[in-house]
Chain A
C-alpha cells in the first residue's frame, strides 16, 4: 500500500470573485521510501498541493472533495489535534527560502529542540542530544556552536542544512521539499542534493520534491510527475521521462533548457508560447490546450482527458500522445556562426574595487583583466561573493574602481561614475538587472521609461517621433504596442524583463551588461527571453556581458567565459575551451556541481568543502587554495599562481602545469 495516496483531490480558494479551484482534480501515490519529483512552472499548483497535504491552507482554502490518505488516515478530514501530531512528526517540510523559514530571534538550538519536545515528549537534555546528532548528520561542523547561534549568523547553505535537520528530527516517513535549493549557489546546491540522497538512504524517508528545475529533480528522484494547471499531466520513472517525454508540456519544458553540449549556433532554445492560466481558468478538457502546438479541434477540446498508461509505468494525460512525432523537431532558425572580428569593445585592465572596512580592506575586485569583442557574448561566472556583480556595477558606472583601467569607446571609465559620464557614454553601456520588479517604477506605465531613455539619449524628440520609437522598441521585444500604457503590476515577469531589455536597447548600446537577467524567471519564459536577447544582440551587433551562475545557460550562449573566484579571474577563454580539459580546479568543481537535466549524462563528482572565504581576509597565495581539491602544497598558500596560456587565448591561473590539468577526465560524459 502506498505511503501517501492522494485521490481525486480538489483544492479551492474563496476569493472576492467567487470560489476558484487551484487544484481541480488530482490523484497521486507515493510509496514508502520512494523519491518522487513534481515539476511545473510557477502557478501550476505545486506549492498549493504541498500545503494541502499539510492541511495548511489559510482561512479561505478548503478541500471539498477527495482524500489525502497518509498511513491510513485521511488528512483532508483530520482534526487539528491529529494534524499536529503528523506535522513535523510523520511529515516534515524543507522550505524554499531557509533565511525566512527560521525564526530570527530564537537560537538554532531552541528551534531544533522544540521538535522532539513536541512530538516525543523528550526532556530538554534528550532534545539537545537529538538536535546535536541530527546537525552532525547534515554535516554541520561543531553542532554545539551552531546551536548557540542565531539564523543571521549562518550562511545560506548552512541555514538550509539546519532546516533539513529540523525536518529530520522526528524521523518522518515523508519529507516534502519545496524548491529547497532555489536561491543557493550551484556548488552549495550540489552538496545539499548529495546530502538529501545520503539522508534518504540513512533514514529511509520518502521524498516528495517539487521544483521548476528539471536538472535538480533528475539528481534526486526515481519517479517524476509533471504538473500543469493543477493536474498531473505525466508520471514516469525518471530515466524514462527524460528519454521519452510524451506530453507536449513536458517536451516544451525540456526544449526550453539548454542541453549539455548544445550551443546557440546549433540548438536554439524553444520556449513554450503563452503563460500558465490563472487558477480555475484552464480549459476543462485539457489544461494545456491553449498553449499546445499539437492541439486538434474535436479531439483535444471534447471531453476531459484521462491519464493513459503508455506502458512501462509511464502515464500521460494527452489524447494525442500516440500521434506526436517521436522527437521534438528543432526549430529551423539556427543562428549563424559567431562573428569573427577582433575589435575590442571593452577592455578591463587590472580593475580593482577595494572597500575600506575599518582598518581592513575588502577586496571585491582584485586586479581583474578581461576583454569583450564586438558582437560577442562574454559570460562572467562564479559563486556569489566572487565579485561579478561589483564588476558589473563598475562597468555601468554605478560604482567606481579604486584601481586599473577600463577602456570603452576610447575612454578610460574605470573611475567615472555614471553621473559624470557623457550621455553617449551612458547610452553606450546599459544594464539589465536580475529582478525586473525592482527596476520598473510601479507608478509609471511601462512606456514611460522607454520614452524617457529615448529623450535622455537624444535618440528622439517630439511627441510623434518618441511614440513611433517606443512602438518600435516594444515590437523589437515582441510586445504589443498597446502594452505601453500598462502598469508594471499588470505584466508578467517575462514581460517586465522584456521592457527592461527594450529600455536598455533604447540608446543603441555598444555594451549591454546583463546581471542574472533570467534567473528569476520560469524555464519556459527564460528560454523566450534568452532567445530575444540573443536575437537583438546579434541584429544590433551589441556586445553582451552576461553575468550568471547558471553554467548550462552560459555554455549555451557565451562566446567567451571568465571564471571568477573571490575577486580574481581563475580562468578565461573561449566557451568550448572552458568546458573541456584542461580545467582550472575551480571551474572543474563548478561544472561538476551543475545539475544536468538528463540522466544519460554522467557527471564527475567533485564537491567543494567549506565556504567561500571572506573578501576581508583573502588567502595570500592562490585565492582558491583553501578549498582546492587539487592543492599542491604550501606553494598554493603562499605564492600567487602563474598565468598559464593554452591555445586560442585560453588562460588558466594555477600552479599545476597545463599538461597535468589536461590529463583529467571531462566532467560530462555520455553513459554508454
Chain B
C-alpha cells in the first residue's frame, strides 16, 4: 500500500508537470501576444516591442517554458518586476521566491495577493456545501436504494431529478425571490463584507443552499443506483438468509460495497466546487475563485490565468489520487 501511494504520488507530479506545460502553451498562444496583454490596449507599440524584447518572446517555446517554470520555482527573478521597464510591478516578497506566480495586470497586485484570498473564499463555500452534500446525498441515496421501488424511493428519486434539472442560476433566482425579496430573511448578495448590514454567516446561506440542492440530487441518484444494485446482489441475500438483523445487513454488507462506485463521483464534486461554481458566485456577487478566473480570462491576465489553472489542476489530481487510494481501501479486490 505504501509503495502504491508513493508510485501514485510520483505519477501525480509528472501529470502536474505535463499539465503545467500545456497550461503555459494554451495561455501563451491565446490571441494577442503576452507583451501586449501585459501592457494593455493603450500602450505604444514601441513599449510593447521593448517588453517583447525584454521577455525574449522570440525564443523557442520550450526555452520560454523553462524560464517561466524557473520564475515559478524561485530559481530565476521575474523579469516583469525589473524597475527599468517602468511597469511599477511591485511584490513585497521580492522578485525571486518559490511560488512566484507573477503579477496580476487586472488587479494590479502580485498574483499571490489576489489568488489565495479568493481561493480561501471558495474553499469556505465549497467546504460548507460539501459538508451538506455528502451526508444528505448518502442518507437519501441509501434510504431510497435500500428498498428500491417503495414510495420513499420514488419520492427521493423524483425530488432528486427535479433539483438536478433546475439550472443553478434559476435555483439562485428562485431562492433570492423567496428569501430575500419576499421574506426579507437573508441578504441577496454575498460580498463577504461586514459593512453590508448582514453578518457574514447569513451571506453564506443562500450560495451554499444553491450548490447543495443542485448537487446533492445528482450524487443521491448515483448513490441510490449503486445501493439498489448491491441490494439485489446474491451476497446480500446470503446475509439476510443467515438471519442477520436488517441493520447489520445494510451497514455491514450492503453499504460498503454500495459506496465503492459513488466514492469517485463524490470526490469529483470537490473539483466542481472549486473551479466550476462560477454561476453561483456571479448570482450572489461572491468574491470567489471561479469568478476571478472568469474575470482574468476575459481581461487577458496571463499570470493569473496560469496560476489559477495550475491550482485547479492540482486540486483535480489530488482528489484523483485520494479517490484511487480510497478505492483500494474500500475494495479488497483492487488491492492485489
Q: Which residues of A contact B (CB under 8 A)?
A: 54, 56, 59, 84-89, 92-93, 95, 97, 100-106, 114-115, 118-119, 150, 152, 163, 166, 170
Q: How far is the CB of B282 from chain A (nearest CB, A)?
A: 43
Q: Which residue from A84, A85, A103, A170 sits with its C-beta under 8 Å from B235?
A: A103
Q: Determine the residue in chain B with the shortest Cβ distance to A104.
A: B333
Which chain B residues border A104 with CB–CB below 8 Å?
235, 257, 331-333
Q: Are B252 and A87 in contact (CB under 8 A)?
A: no
B233 near A100 (CB under 8 angstroms)? yes
The reply to whether A54 and B241 form a contact with Cβ atoms under 8 Å apart is yes
B197 CB to closest chain A CB (Å) equals: 53
Does residue B54 face the partner (Cβ distance < 8 Å to A)? no
Binds A, one of B18-26, B174-182, B243-251, B305-313: B243-251
B239 / chain A contacts, CB cutoff of 8 Å? 103, 114
Q: Give the Cβ gap from B188 to chain A, nearest Cβ, in Å.
A: 47
| Measured CA separation A170–B240 after assembly (Å) | 15
How far, in Å, is B178 (CB) from chain A's closest CB?
38
Q: Is the beta-carbon distance between A118 and B238 smaller than 8 angstroms?
A: no
Give which listed residue, A59, A86, A101, A102, contacts B243 with CB less than 8 A: A86
The 4 A-B pairs of least Cβ separation, nearest first, read: A88-B243, A88-B242, A87-B243, A100-B234
Q: How far is the CA of A118 from the CA of B238 in the complex (A)?
A: 14
**B193 interface hit (Cβ, 8 Å):** no
- Tell me whether A152 and B241 are in contact (CB under 8 A): no
A119: chain B residues at CB < 8 Å are 243
Is B240 in contact with A102, judged by CB distance below 8 angstroms? no
Residues of B within 8 A of A54 (CB): 241
In this complex, the interface size class of chain B, counting residues with CB under 8 Å from chain A, is 20 to 34
- Is B330 among interface residues, defined by CB-CB distance under 8 A? yes
Residue on A nearest B236 in the bound complex, by CB? A103
Measured CA separation A54–B239 after assembly (Å): 13
**A-side contacts of B260, CB under 8 Å:** 105
Chain A residues within an 8 Å CB radius of B332: 104-105, 150, 152
* In the bound complex, CA of A140 to CA of B276 (Å): 55
Residues of B within 8 A of A163 (CB): 238
For residue A8, give the distance in angstroms from its CB to the closest CB of chain B. 24
Whether A118 contacts B330 by the Cβ 8 Å rule is no
Cβ contact within 8 Å between B242 and A166: yes
- B244 & A105 in contact (Cβ 8 Å cutoff): no
Kindly report which residue of chain B lies nearest to residue A170, judged by CB atoms: B243
User: Which residues of the other chain, B, contact A101 by a CB distance below 8 angstroms?
Assistant: 234-235, 237-238
Q: What is the minimal beta-carbon distance from A291 to any residue of chain B, in angstroms? A: 31
Partner of A56, one of B149, B233, B237: B237
Known: A102-B238, A106-B253, A115-B242. 10 other contacts (CB 8 A): A84-B244, A92-B241, A93-B238, A101-B234, A104-B331, A105-B333, A118-B243, A118-B244, A118-B248, A170-B243
**What is the CA–CA distance of A140 and B272 in the complex, to the nearest angstrom?**
50
B256 at the binding interface (Cβ < 8 Å)? yes
Instruction: Tell me the B residues contacting A by CB distance below 8 Å.
Output: 147, 149-150, 233-235, 237-245, 248, 252-253, 256-257, 260, 330-333
Looking across the interface, which residue of chain B has its beta carbon closest to that of A169?
A: B242
- Shortest C-beta distance, A283 to chain B (Å), equals 33
Residues of A within 8 A of B330 (CB): 105
Q: Are B238 and A103 in contact (CB under 8 A)?
A: yes
Residue pair A102, B242 in contact (C-beta under 8 Å): no
Contact B243 A85, beta carbon cutoff 8 Å: yes
Q: How far is the CA of A102 from the CA of B239 in the complex (A)?
A: 9
Do A105 and B331 have beta carbons less than 8 Å apart?
yes
**CB-based nearest B residue for A119:** B243
Q: Are B333 and A152 in contact (CB under 8 A)?
A: yes
A residues within 8 A CB of B233? 100
* A114 pairs with B242, CB closer than 8 A: yes
Contact A88 B252 (CB under 8 A): no
Known: A101-B234, A150-B332. A106 touches B240 (CB 8 A): no
In the assembled complex, the Cα of A105 lies from the Cα of B248 at a distance in Å of 15
If A56-B237, A100-B235 touch, whether A88 touches B253 (CB-CB below 8 Å) is: no
Question: A114, B248: Cβ atoms under 8 Å?
Answer: yes
Which of A101, A103, A106 gathers the greatest number of chain B CB atoms within 10 Å? A103
A103 to B331 Cα, complex, angstroms:
11
Q: Which A residues touch B240, using CB under 8 A?
A: 56, 87
Do residues B242 and A95 form an inter-chain contact, with CB atoms below 8 A? no
Contact B243 A105 (CB under 8 A): no
Give which listed residue, A56, A59, A100, A114, contacts B241 with CB less than 8 A. Answer: A56
> Shortest Cβ distance from B230 into chain A, in angstroms?
10
Contacts of B244 in A (CB 8 A): 84, 88, 114, 118
Which residue of chain A has its CB nearest to the CB of B233? A100
List the B side residues contacting A115 at CB < 8 Å.
242-243
Interfacial chain A residues near B257, Cβ < 8 Å:
103-105
Q: Nearest B residue to A176 by beta-carbon distance?
A: B241
Taking CB atoms, residues of chain A closer than 8 Å to B331 are 104-105
CB distance from A78 to the nearest CB of B (A): 12
The answer to whether residues A118 and B242 also contact, given A100-B235, A102-B235, A104-B235 and a CB cut-off of 8 A, is yes
Bound-complex Cα distance A163 to B333 (A): 19
With most chain A CB atoms within 10 A of its CB, the pick from B237, B248, B257 is B237
Nearest chain B CB to A58 CB, angstrom units? 10
Task: Tell me the minimal C-beta distance from B256 to chain A in angstroms.
Answer: 5
Distance to closest chain A CB from B91 (angstroms): 52
On whether A93 and B333 interact (CB within 8 A), knowing A100-B234, A100-B235, A104-B257, the answer reads: no
List chain A residues, Cβ under 8 A from B235. 100-104
- The answer to whether A150 touches B238 (Cβ under 8 A) is no
Whether A84 contacts B243 by the Cβ 8 Å rule is yes
Residues of B within 8 A of A106 (CB): 252-253
Whole-angstrom distance between the Cβ of A547 and the nearest chain B Cβ: 28
* Listed residue (B237, B241, B248, B257) with the most chain A CB atoms within 10 angstroms of its CB: B241
In the complex, A97 Cα to B238 Cα: how many Å? 11
Complex contact A95–B248 (CB within 8 A) = no
In angstroms, Cα B239 to Cα A166, docked, is 11
Please pick, from A84, A92, A103, A150, the residue contacting B253 in the complex, using a CB distance under 8 A: A103
Task: Tell me the nearest residue of chain B to A86, going by C-beta.
Answer: B243
B234 closest partner in A (C-beta):
A100
* Bound CA–CA A105/B244 (angstroms): 17
Distance in Å: Cβ of B158 to nearest Cβ of chain A: 19
Residue from the list A59, A84, A100, A105 in contact with B149, Cβ < 8 A = A59
**A84 and B245 contact, CB distance less than 8 A:** yes
* Known contacts A88-B244, A118-B243, A118-B245; A95 and B253 CB within 8 A of each other: no
Residue of B238, B243, B257, B331 with highest tally of chain A CB at under 10 A? B243
Docked Cα-Cα span, A483 to B239, in Å, equals 43
Given contacts A59-B149, A114-B242, A150-B333, contact A97 B248 (CB under 8 A): no
Complex CA gap A104/B235 in Å reads 8
Which residue of A is nearest B237, CB measured? Answer: A56
Q: Is the CB of A93 within 8 A of B234?
A: no
- With both chains docked as a complex, state the minimum distance between the C-beta of A210 and any C-beta of chain B, in angstroms: 15
The distance from the CB of B145 to the nearest CB of chain A, in whole angstroms, is 14
In the assembled complex, the Cα of A170 lies from the Cα of B237 at a distance in Å of 18
Residues of A within 8 A of B256 (CB): 105
Chain A residues whose CB sits within 8 angstroms of the CB of B234 once the complex forms: 95, 97, 100-101
Q: How far is the CA of A598 from the CA of B331 in the complex (A)?
A: 46
When A114-B248, A152-B332, A152-B333 are in contact, do A87 and B238 touch as well, CB less than 8 Å?
no
Residues of B within 8 A of A89 (CB): 243
Complex Cα spacing A54 to B234, Å: 14
Q: How far is the CA of A118 from the CA of B241 in the complex (A)?
A: 12
| Cα of A176 to Cα of B332 in the assembled complex, Å | 30
Shortest CB distance B19–A (Å): 31
